[in-house]
Amino acid sequence: MSADARPVAVVTGASRGIGRHLADAFEQAGYVVERGSSAVADVTDRAAVDRWVADVVERHGRVDVLVNNAGVIDTEVPIHEADPDEWWRTMEVNVLGPFLVTRAVLPHMLEAGVGRVLNLNSGAGVRPGAVASAYNASKTALARVTGSTQLAGQDRGVLAFDLAPGVVRTDMTEAMVAHEDRTEWTDPGEVTALALALASGELDVWAGRMVRAGVDTPASLHDRAAGGLDDADRTITLMPWGDDDPLG
């Protein structure tokens, strides 16, 4: 076990794009960063994930922050034109992967009585998609993983958040038809500032909810929370038709 007292952050999919920005920012903020891309090529490989997390804990004795960033998007076609294998692979990477890494890390956080889990989500998760339906479905499902993680840990010092990064200019977003004419992109610094604030505990009132870089800042979230948050604020929730709705 390392005698290094610095907090430890685990970041999946950190070899490029948003994951690299996040991993670099956590390192610059004083964290020891374990980059999943250099240790686990496939976050859906349960045995590899378990070995990696066990090794991290063996070497450092702790995991303070988990950032589930690794993700993919399916081809931008309507659902009836989607390739079933690609569709399901998108679900596996974007949902099974975060579940497996969280499943491996969470017991150590619970034992320590402290931890923050940040799941890289998307505005696509709050609505159906005319194309790339697996991506939308996977991000909706990821929000449920976040919620379940929050419920499992909230009474033991471990909190979970959905962090939507906006549209950062990356290899993935530049290749998307949806963004081919885009001229304005989310600054990666806005994403990392929000991630570090969530990891620090200063925005714990937003646990179990979605925050969005490029729209939200730590300051704006503090201000909004000061006015009080309803249970459903920034969550994916069924909206009943009224008090007489049996599903309300």
- Which one of the listed residues 139, 209, 212, 234 is annotated catalytic? 139
127 given a catalytic annotation: no
Q: What share of the chain is helix, strand, coil (3-state, %, to 5)?
A: 50, 10, 40
Give the Cβ contact number of residue 139 at 10 Å.
Answer: 27
Q: Which of 87, 99, 135, 206 is catalytic?
A: 135
What number of residues does the chain have?
Answer: 248
Strands (E), the chain: 8-11, 32-35, 65-68, 115-120, 158-164, 210-212
Q: What is the phi/psi pair of residue 218, to 5°?
A: -55, -40
Locate 188 and state its tokens.
């990666």
139 is catalytic: yes
Burial class (CB in 10 A: 0-12, 13-18, 19+), 228: exposed
Please answer whether residues 95 and 138 qualify as being in contact, where contact means their C-beta atoms are separated by less than 8 angstroms: yes
Residue carrying structure tokens 């709705």: 245
Helices (H) and strands (E) in the chain, counts: 8, 6
Catalytic residues: 135, 139
